[in-house]
Structure 1
Amino acid sequence: MFIFLRDLLAKIIDFVGVLVACSVIVLLATIFYNVVSRYLFDDVDIGLQELEWHLFACMFLFGIGYSLKENAHVRVDIIYEKLGVKTQAIINLVGTIALLIPISLLIIYYGYDFANEAYQSGERSGDPGGLTHRWIIKGAIPASFCFTVLCGIYVVIEQLVVLTNGSEPNKSSQGEAL
């Protein structure tokens, strides 16, 4: 049961990871267009500049969860790497349950109101020519942390598998890294 759920979550997380990777291509194309437009044609599009910031923010926000799944997040810990697999699993499990998931739920709770207020007021960019519908980028905050909670559940299952099997998780079932 847990293995099925873990594999299903891995597929969902990998799909979002592919979307994040595609957003990098869109971001690069937008930046390229803006630079060419600005320096060759002396034309500045404020809306596209804001779109760059929004794409970067979404790439970062949704990339957090994907990096958790791939265990690719930054660790600044010289002790952790010397510990056994089961001890690392316990640390990951406690950290995910005690810190990652509660903090993510808090951000979802307050982020929803943040985005909803922007939607209700029809908030838009303060810059002339800027993007309308500011609630979309504000809505990406709680949405990305819902995704992070999903990734946290994946990490919990993965660490439980490690604790019950006594070895490192089977990387072949996790999908391929981007």
Structure 2
Amino acid sequence: MRWIIKVDHGLAWLSIFCGWVACVAMILMAGNVFYDVVARYVFNEVSIGMQEMEWHLYSVVFLLGIPYALRTDGHVRVDVFYTRWSDKTKAWVNIVGAVLFVIPFSYLIWYYGYDFAVESYSMGEGSGDPGGLPHRWIIKSVIPISAVFTAIAGLNMITHAIRVLSGEKTYEPKHGAEGLA
């Protein structure tokens, strides 16, 4: 059982790292939006590159926020049923959900996202707009990377559920956004 605890902690750390990166990207995105608004309405200046950077950063927030949400149980689920179940039932539901949905879905996203990013890199794809960002493959590479981290978060759901089934851990109810800060 000791090895499963170490694996569980290691996988959890990777998901928490994704959350930290998403948090930093959110702060950068807020600064970017602030800059765009001030530049546009105060100085009558528009930067296509900075506008594109907004959706690049938003993509990072969204794509790397998924593994963190899975780790902290912040994802959408039918809580009407889930909250009434015992910890062992929750553990089995999480194992089945990770095996049947999270990991296969992550594989599909990785499989198609990898080709998407490689094609973008090999074409030297950049923005179609003058003044836009030159290396579009960088943001497209986040798609397969986030799929790998989402699969890792799915494995973490399984290791945590195994610890719950063994009686070593429980599912603690969380309220609000306490895991986000």
2:112 matched residue in structure 1: 110
Alpha carbons 2:114, 2:144 under 8 Å: kept: yes
Distance 2:169 2:120 in 1: 47
2:136 matched residue in structure 1: 134
2:6 matched residue in structure 1: 4
Compute the displacement of 1:166 (Å): 6.9
The DSSP-based 3-state class of the residue aligned with 1:57 is: helix
2:53 matched residue in structure 1: 51
Taking structure 2 as the reference length, the TM-score comes to 0.91
Taking structure 1 as the reference length, the TM-score comes to 0.92
Compute the displacement of 1:164 (Å): 1.4
CA RMSD of aligned residues (A): 1.7
- 1:88-138 deviations in whole A, cap 9, x for unaligned? 111111010111101101110111000100000111111111111111111
Q: Percent identity?
A: 44
Distance 1:12 1:145 in 2: 13
Runs of 4+ in 1 over 3 A off after TM superposition: none
Compute the displacement of 1:169 (Å): 4.8
Q: Structure 1: which 5+ residue stretches go unaligned?
A: none
The DSSP-based 3-state class of the residue aligned with 1:42 is: coil
Distance 1:167 1:12 in 2: 20
Alpha carbons 2:91, 2:164 under 8 Å: kept: yes
Alpha carbons 1:158, 1:169 under 8 Å: kept: no
Alpha carbons 2:32, 2:54 under 8 Å: kept: yes
Alpha carbons 1:23, 1:59 under 8 Å: kept: yes
Compute the displacement of 1:28 (Å): 0.5
Q: How many residues align?
A: 174
The DSSP-based 3-state class of the residue aligned with 1:82 is: coil
**Structure-2 change in CA distance of 1:155 and 1:93 (3 Å):** same
User: Quick one: which of 96, 99, 111 aligns to 1:97?
Assistant: 99
1:139-154 superposed matches below 5 A: 139-154=141-156
Q: Structure 2: which 5+ residue stretches go unaligned?
A: 174-178
Compute the displacement of 1:11 (Å): 2.1
Compute the displacement of 1:80 (Å): 2.1
Compute the displacement of 1:32 (Å): 0.4
Distance 1:9 1:76 in 2: 25
Matched, 1:82 2:84: yes
Matched, 1:28 2:56: no
